[in-house]
Amino acid sequence: MLDDMRVLRDAVRGYRVAATAAGLDWPGEIESPTEQPPEQVRRIFDVDHVAEQLCWLQSQRWPHRRLLPNAGWRMPWPEDADALDYLGLSIATPFPWRQQLPLFHFDFALFTFVLAGEHEGEVWRYEISPDAWDSVRAAPSLATLFDQWTRGITTGAITYDGSSGWLVVEEPGLAPGLDPLAFPVAPIEETLLRARQRECGVDMTAVEDGFEYNEKLLDAIDAAKASLAR
């Protein structure tokens, strides 16, 4: 789902205000104008457009710090086809595996933004592990994701760790109204994960045979990279 731009701006602003109130070093800033993505982005991810919502978020001049929960950071626009390597764990997604952009990186999870089709605007998550078949939607939109993180701070599920200077996720599942899948925590509770996968259209038969599916996906990534190199 693509957010109304006002809603998205308010959600990101609300997260920054909550994060700084918790103790994160994130100076006040003036909103930057929206810039178009580099030319190679559409080619790498095989799409004919990039949503304004993503362009706006990537245009904001955030300080070079780990501003997201659990020491996560916003990834820059990709420079080359090696960005496709990040998608090697997107097992059985209900959209073309290539049409998602790696956006938020955490120590053990990757969140992507879906670029096209009926799932455009959704944020999906993948655990960075060679044998974790956890392709699943983290949030239906960027604004929803930032709102969840803001509520995580205000309910105490996310706290500021002064020794590291990072926001740390405590127990998102304990606070009413928080969706654990919106938070970069692992492992995910199995029953919740499988139910959400079914709900958002993940092919569960492929998940059950994840290793074979993963090999095919890696071959497809190599083929796409070779095609882009020509």
Residues 110-164 pLDDT 10s: 999 999 999 999 999 999 887 778 999 999 999 999 999 999 999 999 999 999 9
Instruction: Determine the pLDDT at residue 9.
Output: 97
Please tell me the predicted confidence (pLDDT) of residue 176. 86
195 confidence band (pLDDT: 50, 70, 90):
very high
Band of the pLDDT at 209, cuts 50, 70, 90? confident
Nearest 10 degrees: Cα torsion 193, 198, 201, 207: 70
The least confident of 76-85, 118-127, 211-220 is 211-220
* CA separation for the pair 66, 166 (Å, rounded): 7
Residue 188 scores a pLDDT above 90: no
- Residues 80 and 139: their CA atoms lie apart, in Å, by 27
Q: How confident is the model at residue 171 (pLDDT cuts 50, 70, 90)?
A: confident
Q: H-type helices in 118-180, by residue range?
A: 142-154
Amino acid at 127: E
pLDDT of 51 higher than 90 = yes
Instruction: Give the model's pLDDT for residue 41.
Output: 97
Q: List b or e across 66-78, with b for residues whose CB sees 16 or more CB atoms inside 10 angstroms.
A: bbbbbbbeebebb
Which three-class secondary structure state does DSSP give residue 162? coil
Q: Is residue 110 a contact partner of residue 121, using CB atoms and an 8 Å limit?
A: no
pLDDT at 29 over 80: no
Residue 58 contacts by C-beta under 8 Å, 6 or more apart in sequence? 35, 37, 74, 76, 77
Confidence bin at 207 (pLDDT 50/70/90): confident
Helices (H), 91-171: 142-154
- To the nearest whole number, what is the mean pLDDT of the chain? 94
Q: What is the mean pLDDT of residues 83-110?
A: 95
Q: pLDDT grade, residue 24 (50/70/90)?
A: very high
pLDDT band at 175; cut points 50, 70, 90: confident
